[in-house]
Structure 1
Amino acid sequence: MPSERLQSLLDAVVAMASDLTLDGAMQSIVDSASELVDATYGFLGVLDGTTNRRLGTFAVHGLEEAHQQMIGSLPEGRGLLGIVIDRPEPIRVADLEGHPERAGFPVRHPDMRSFLGVPIRIHGEVFGNLYLTNKRSASAFTAADEEIAVALAGAAGVIIHNARLHQSAEKRLAWLEATADIASSVLKPISREGVKQSIAKRARAVAEADVAAILVPDDDGRLVVAAVTGMTRDVVGRVTTVPWLDAITESGEDRTTLDVRLDDAVPPKALDVLPDLRAVHGQPIPIGTATGVLVLGWFEGHERAAASLDTSLARGFAQQVALAIQVVRDRERQARLAVFEDRDRIGRDLHDLVIQRLFAVGLTLDSTSRTVGPEAAERLAVAVDSLDQTIKDIRRTIFDLTSPASPMVLREEIAPVARETERLLGFRPQVWIKGDVEGEVPAQVAEQLVAVLHETTSNIVRHAGASAVQITLDVTDEIVLEVRDDGTGLDPDALMGNGLRNLRHRAKNLGGTCEFTEPPGGGLNVRWSVPKARHGR
């Protein structure tokens, strides 16, 4: 090899080694190789890890970005390119036009004549192939060009290996930092929904995923979307039943599918709750005695990030996530218990001290009224009646203190209403909850909302004769509770009744509305809505 070309080769190797990123190293390799052998076009293709046949990723030299987008699909591992894959050894072709295995290049690819292909190996394993076409200064590539390309490919294997190690170390560091952030987040005041949303955001970022979601089991063991990032939050609260996800919760082992179309365990419409995903990873999260799932998803064209996911790092992250969720859950339970204990204490004090003293004062006034004139006796009687009413009000307050409607457990308040309705009607109402109800529904609204739900379901049980009931709570834009049945519809006389009037009154007091409509198929739809703006937390 002439000393001038040898020096150029050494300079190229130094330049390639200066970029520690995998994409940057690949681009530097194909650029240097094209310049050293005077090629018009250069391509560095990485073998697809799923098949070791198809070329999954490319670095390109000599084509503008617009031209690459016009070409669209990457070259495939067949024809002449397949020969280099099947027999990983250098190959030179003087004129592609007459070659019997010219296939493999995509449509709209630029016209090519001369061709030089060499494999790139890492520790004896073929990582990909370097393709160089259309030598500018001659009609074909020479043996010296092949020698340069082979030498460069040998150095490229080492450089790519180092870049991959560097990339792996950076990803490991990113996962560790994310894990530490989740651990430290529980030291601050944060709700369960807040920590789940934070987990989804961090997982999506470090996994380079398009979508991340946290799915937790409900009372019936069905997986419910508790947090999501990368797509609309309308899916929060929706239930999904996918055999692929069920297998994760049952086995406690993570699973990855790089193409949901080829996985029989993921039916085409089963992931409607997380639509348009091509690659999916599911990581189990033990939550108490149940198991949730951290779902990472990638859209079409981003499968490479899914294939490069280090599942051991995701597993360690999930273990920390489970601990964080449990800590926040226990903290919320302790806080609620402290509130309940405090309310019990206040209730006891009101009952044992205040009511008894008021009762004693009432008795004193009542006995005094017998020793004074008629006018004074009448005034004392009014005072005694007032004390009796005050005692009743205090007793009602004591009852309210021991029966709170808390926004922290709004889902738990709705579930018993649905179960009681099922018991009375003989069928289970459908319940849909959309949005972050714990984070978006203030206490005063939650209390009224539960009362409205009780009233509407009671009316259905008593009067509707329904065979289907649907309960929907949507807090994405405003706080909307809809209860729909397929029964006899609305009795005009009922519009003047106290029950429906109370529903309107509860909504009006919160700046909202309550509407009663008959759907086209019959029955009744009650829409009770309250704006969120007036009830910030």
Structure 2
Amino acid sequence: MSHSARGIDAVGAAVLAMSRHLQVQDVLQTIVASARELLGAEYGALGVPDDHGGFAQFVVDGVDEEQWKAIGPLPRQHGILAGMLRGTASQRLADVREDPRFEGWPAAHPELSDFLGVPVVDGDEVLGALFLANKKCPGTGGPPDGGQGRGPARECGFTEEDEALLRTLAAHAAIALTNARLYERSRELSIVEERTRIARELHDAVSQKLFSLRLTAQAASALVDREPQRAKDELRRVAALAAEAADELRTVVVELRPATLEEEGLAATLRTQIQVLDRVHSARVSFTAHAVRALPAAQEEALLRVAQESLHNALRHADATAVEVTLAARGRGAVLRVADDGRGFDPAAVRGAGRRLGLVSMSDRAAAVGGSLTVQSEPGRGTVVEMEVPGG
């Protein structure tokens, strides 16, 4: 196989590795590691600029954690890095220290000599600067001067072919980085949507308690002269309602935070949200989890959204007095079950009911992650929604 063919295969493998990640930080780290391995460099880095002359994110490969901490603060946008962030030109240097733009580095910083850098570009926007340094010489496992970069300009430095490969990788990196940013943005929008939904639930509950509080206080005021004992009873009721309202307001503060699916996992996130619903609704809402292993992120997201939609239907449309949610392992995957004792509906009329209850969107969510959705219901006999995913 020719050197070019091997390079194309290596780029393909690197692109595949990038596509497996959806978080921006993971994508950045994969880009740098793939580039460093692809071109046989000792060091690699990728910086994403901020709007204040520094870097919002800066990842490195080839430097251990202890050395990275010793280097100190993130670099500023100056010298050669600034040049890559202000245009689309590559930077291929035999010795970066001899470039007039070189401004030195911290004492703990590794010595760099031969240098190859390209901007990561999306249209007219420069997303970041990707660079490699100290190409390892064939047959030596490292630079000819032992990795210190103090020897003469090396014959095994970066080539035009290296530059072309890195530019190709940077073009794919721009796509992967843009996709990861869009994914994170979509999650942020989902979080906002979820916070709005919880806020609406809590607002309704608090409004009801405050309305009851006002009526009870008015009743106590009317009874205070002619029936003092009943007035005292009503005032005790006022105190109880006020305490409940205060609890709900505290819930607003505690629960209106970003969704914790990534940090805490599906079971913990469901448990937290169901506890909130149990507090703000007169219906009893319970949750049980049985030995569920971590699932692919997309599957956990779909299960959470189906659970939320099913709970909303049970509590808002079905007038349920009890809703039981269970999450259990099934093979390598999991099954979610949401059962309520509400009014139910006729599956034969599923077209109208399906649109109103979001059954079509729930089914689509399940299918999109390789899962299945079943709905059992009967007028006056409640509804059971069950979603199964295969796991990963």
Query: Which TM-score applies when normalising by structure 1?
Result: 0.39
Relative to 1, partners in 2 of residues 1:173 and 1:6: Cα closer, same or farther, differing over 3 Å? same
Is 1:171 equivalent to 2:188 in the alignment? yes
* 8 A Cα contact 1:81 1:104, kept in partner: no
Which residue number in structure 2 is paired with residue 144 of structure 1?
161
Which residue number in structure 2 is paired with residue 267 of structure 1?
none
* 8 A Cα contact 1:22 1:160, kept in partner: yes
Higher RCO (C-alpha under 8 Å, 6+ residues apart): 2
Q: Which shifted more, 34-43 or 1-10?
A: 1-10
Gaps of 5+ in 1: 191-326, 352-393, 411-435, 440-537
CA distance in 1, matches of 2:31, 2:204: 47
What letter is aligned with 1:47? P
Is 1:180 equivalent to 2:182 in the alignment? no
Match of 2:221 among 344, 347, 356: 344
* Residues 296-335 of structure 1: pairs in structure 2 closer than 5 A: 327=207, 331-332=209-210, 334-335=211-212
Report the Cα offset of residue 406 of structure 1: 6.1
* Residues 445-524 of structure 1: pairs in structure 2 closer than 5 A: none
SS at match of 2:21: coil
Report the Cα offset of residue 128 of structure 1: 0.7
CA distance in 2, matches of 1:398, 1:409: 16
Match of 2:49 among 31, 34, 47: 47
Which residue number in structure 1 is paired with residue 112 of structure 2?
112
Gaps of 5+ in 2: 138-142, 144-153, 251-392
CA distance in 2, matches of 1:107, 1:88: 30
Match of 1:33 among 24, 35, 41: 35
Report the Cα offset of residue 98 of structure 1: 2.3
CA distance in 2, matches of 1:6, 1:156: 15
* 8 A Cα contact 1:84 1:117, kept in partner: yes
* Residues 236-251 of structure 1: pairs in structure 2 closer than 5 A: none
Report the Cα offset of residue 120 of structure 1: 0.3
Which residue number in structure 1 is paired with residue 76 of structure 2?
76
The one-character-per-residue Cα deviations of 1:247-292 (angstroms, maximum 9, x if unpaired) are xxxxxxxxxxxxxxxxxxxxxxxxxxxxxxxxxxxxxxxxxxxxxx
Report the Cα offset of residue 154 of structure 1: 0.7
* 8 A Cα contact 2:49 2:128, kept in partner: yes
Report the Cα offset of residue 72 of structure 1: 1.8
* 8 A Cα contact 2:216 2:238, kept in partner: no
Which residue number in structure 1 is paired with residue 56 of structure 2?
56
Relative to 1, partners in 2 of residues 1:104 and 1:98: Cα closer, same or farther, differing over 3 Å? closer
Which residue number in structure 1 is paired with residue 305 of structure 2?
none
What letter is aligned with 1:35? E
CA distance in 2, matches of 1:170, 1:78: 34
CA distance in 1, matches of 2:84, 2:31: 18
* 8 A Cα contact 2:217 2:238, kept in partner: no
Report the Cα offset of residue 399 of structure 1: 10
* 8 A Cα contact 1:88 1:119, kept in partner: yes
CA distance in 2, matches of 1:8, 1:16: 12
Report the Cα offset of residue 39 of structure 1: 0.8
* Residues 310-459 of structure 1: pairs in structure 2 closer than 5 A: 327=207, 331-332=209-210, 334-350=211-227
Which residue number in structure 1 is paired with residue 177 of structure 2?
160
Report the Cα offset of residue 187 of structure 1: 4.3
Percent identity for Structure 1 against Structure 2: 28
Which residue number in structure 2 is paired with residue 24 of structure 1?
26
Relative to 1, partners in 2 of residues 1:104 and 1:154: Cα closer, same or farther, differing over 3 Å? farther
